[in-house]
Every structure is written in C-alpha cells, then in structure tokens.
Amino acid sequence: MLVPRQPVPGLTLPTLDHGTFELRSERPEYLSLLVAYRGLHCPICLKYLLELGRLQPEFAQRGVSVLAFSSDTRERARMMADKLKAPELRIGYGLPLATARDWGLSISASIGTTSIGVEEPALFSEPGVFLVRPDGTLYYGATQTMPFARPHFDELLGAIDFTIAKGYPARGEFTGAV
C-alpha cells in the first residue's frame, strides 16, 4: 500500500517522444503528476487524456511535470498519442503489471472488444493518479478499480494552487493502530 510522505516504488518507462522516464531522476519544481490509464481500448481514457493534454501547460506553470502511462505496447501507445494530438504530453508505455501492482493499481482481465471496437489486452492495469514530491515521496494518490469516476484535472489544479499557497502537507500518512 502506498502511504503519503513515504517513498513510492521506482518507475522507469520508455516514452514515445521524450526518451526514458525515470521517476528518481525527475526534478520538478513542485511535483510529478503520474497518470496511469487503461490503454488504447478505453474511450474514457481518451477523453481523460485529452483534458490532461489541454491542461498540461497549466501544470507546467505550477512546477508540475506530467507523465501519462499504461501497460500498452509501443504501437498501441502511439495510436493513442496520435488521437490525442498533444506532442508535449509525455506518454509512457510498457508498464510491467508487477510494477502496476506495486503502485496499487488494480489489474483487469480482458472481456473482449470495447464499445469503440478495440480489443482489450489479455491483462492491463486500471487507472490511477499520483502526485509525487521531488524527494520521491507520495503526496497524493487515487486509484480506481473501474474506468469511471476519476479525479478531475481542473480540480487537481485548484488543489495544487491551495497546497502551494498554504504549504499544505500530505495527508493520510498515519499507519499506526486504530
């Protein structure tokens, strides 16, 4: 289980157009935003990533680096990127499912072809959104077991503005007996 204020697992992935992403080498001014998406087969992911691509400059203005990633192959990731038309958005691919599980992401088995006519991979990870401090500790995390009800990026921007202005600490860090 990921715990705020504690180190997150490593994450190293190839990206389509921005070299290798290595979380421990990231040096954002404020945070790294890591967005795990289901893959090319997911129409909700396309809509979600279109919004992320549109708002990516807003995150950059706040000192937040951004990576969207999935367990898709390079070819499927390229097809998604071609639909997004957001060349500044880093798209990582090839997430090992064991690494997905280390990050607390749920794993699903294929149920066939989706509503947009794209076959699901045999196994893939479900969505998650993480904010990681430059020191490699978790600031915020949200995972879903389904493609629905994900954090809204405009609300996340507002939350980041609040945390910057107020120096708000990561919450949810207590792991003692209750």
DSSP, residue by residue, 72-126: --HHHHHHHHHHH--TTSEEE----HHHHHHTT--EEE--SB-TTS-BPPSEEEP
Q: What confidence tens digit (pLDDT) does each residue in 84-136 have?
A: 999 999 999 999 999 999 999 999 999 999 888 899 999 999 999 999 999 99
What's the domain count of the chain?
1
118: CATH: 3.40.30.10
Q: Tell how strand 107-109 and strand 123-125 pair up.
A: antiparallel
**16 lies in some domain:** no
Per-residue exposure over 135-154, b if at least 16 CB sit within 10 Å of its own CB, e if not: ebbbbbbebbeebeebbebe
**8 lies in some domain:** no
SS3 153: helix
Range of the domain at 79: 31-162
Q: What confidence tens digit (pLDDT) does each residue in 12-27 have?
A: 999 999 999 999 999 9
**169 lies in some domain:** no
Q: What confidence tens digit (pLDDT) does each residue in 125-174 have?
A: 999 999 999 999 999 999 999 999 999 999 999 999 999 999 999 999 99
SS3 129: strand
**98 lies in some domain:** yes
